[in-house]
Amino acid sequence: MPHISMVLTPSFQFLALGVQAAFELANALKGEPYYTLSIASVEGGPVMSSSGFTVPTVKLTEVGQADTLLLMAGLTPPPQQDEATLETLRAMARQSRRVAGLCTGSFLLGQMGLLDGRRATTHWSYARLMREAFPKVRVEDDRIFINEGSVWTSAGLTAGLDLAVALVEKDLGRDMASAIARRLVMHHRRAGGQSQHSELLQLAPSSDRIQKALIHAKTHLADPLTVEELADVAALSPRQFSRAFRAETGQTPAKAVEQIRLEAARLMIEETRHPLDQIARENGFTDLRRMREAFMRQYGQPPQTLRRLARAA
C-alpha cells in the first residue's frame, strides 16, 4: 500500500495540503484503501503555516517506508536548510520511490542536490532566483509540472494538484486520473508540459458572456470560430461582441482565437507524436502552412523546430 508523506517546512503555504484530496479520492473511487497518508516534518510536532495556523506533524524518520515524499514550502522560497535537515531529507528520499517539490518546495530539492543535471520548474516569479541559486539545474518556468525520473517538481500552488493527479495516473491509470479531475471540478487535467501562462488566464475577461465565448473557442478549436459564432455563444450582436471583447481583453476576437490555437497546438507538438498536419487541422489552422506562419509570428520558430527541441529535452 503506497504511503504518501507530505513534508512541511516552517511557513509552508496551507493551500498546498489540498493535494491530499487527489489521493483521498483515489481511495474512495477504488472502494478500498490504496494510499495511506501522513503529514510530517523533519523535527516533528506542530509546524506553523504562512497564515499563522499550526499543523501537527509526525517526525519524518518515524514515518517508516514512504513511497512518495511531497515537499511543501511557503509563498516565498525557503531559506537554506542546515546540513542535518538536508541529510534527513536525502536519506528519506533515497528510501522512497519518488519525491516531489511543490511550488517553492522545488528549492528544497535543489538544496538536497537532487535537481543537479535535471529539468525542474517552480512558480514563474521565482524561476530567475532558482537559476541563480542552482546553476546545474535546467529551470523551465513555463511548465505546470516536470517529471524527471523519480523526481517531480511543480509550478505555483494549484499546479501541485495537477502533479498529484499525475502521480495517481502513474499508479492507477488515466481513467482514474480523469475521474478524480472531474470530482475535483478541475476544468480538465492539465498536462505537465502546459504553459503556466494560459492564454485564457491572460485574457481574463470580466464578464461571464465573454468568458463563455472563450471557453467555447477552447473546446471547438477545429471549427471556424467566426466572430458571428462567438457572438451567438455570448448572446450579443457581432458588433457588440467585438467591442466588448476588445474592452475586456485588449485583443480582437481573431487574435485571441489564434493565441489559444497556438497554445493548444504547441502542447500537442511537444507532448504527442501526432503528425503536424493533423495537429494543424485539429486546432483550426486548416493546413500546415498556415500553422507554420502563425508559429513563426509568435515564437520565431517553425513547429518542426519546437518538436525537435522538446524531444531533445
Active site residues: 103
Cell of 7: 513534508
d(CA 139, CA 120): 5
Other beta carbons less than 10 A from residue 59's beta carbon: 13
- Pair 21, 4: CB distance under 8 Å: no
- Pair 68, 78: CB distance under 8 Å: no
Q: What is the largest CA-CA distance in the chain?
A: 66
d(CA 259, CA 283): 11
Residues 6+ apart with CB under 8 A from 225: 217, 257, 284
Provide Rg for the chain, Cα atoms: 22
Half-sphere CA count of 215, side-chain side, radius 13 A = 11
